[in-house]
Amino acid sequence: MTSVLVIDDHPIVLQGCRRLLEDAGVDRVLEASTVLSGYRLFRREKPDVVIIDLALHGNGLSGLLLVQRLRAQNPRTPILVFSMHGDPVIVSRALEAGATGYVLKDTSSGALLEAFEKVRRGQPYMSHDLAMQIALLGTRREAPLADITPRELQTLALLAEGKDYTLIADELGISYKTVANTCSQLKVKLGASSLPELVRSSIQYLSASPYAGAARRAN
Q: What is the pLDDT of residues 41-59, one digit of tens each?
A: 999 999 999 999 987 765 5
Strands (E), the chain: 3-7, 28-32, 49-52, 79-83, 101-104, 125-126
Residue 4 CA to residue 18 CA, distance in Å, equals 9
Task: Check if the beta carbon of residue 80 is closer than 8 Å to that of residue 115.
Answer: yes
Residue 20: per-residue pLDDT? 95
Residue 92 CA to residue 102 CA, distance in Å, equals 9
* Average confidence score pLDDT of the chain: 85
Task: Tell which CATH architecture fits domain 3-137.
Answer: 3-Layer(aba) Sandwich (3.40)
User: Phi first, then psi: what are they for 126, rounded to 5°?
Assistant: -160, 145
Q: Say yes or no to pLDDT of 217 above 50.
A: no
Task: Enumerate the CATH 3.40.50.2300 domain ranges in the chain, comma separated.
Answer: 3-137
Residue 8 CA to residue 63 CA, distance in Å, equals 9
Q: Say yes or no to pLDDT of 139 above 80.
A: no
Residue 7: per-residue pLDDT? 97
Domain 150-206 matching CATH 1.10.3720.10: the answer reads no
Task: Enumerate the CATH 1.10.10.10 domain ranges in the chain, comma separated.
Answer: 150-206
CA angle 196, 201, 205 (to 5 degrees): 150
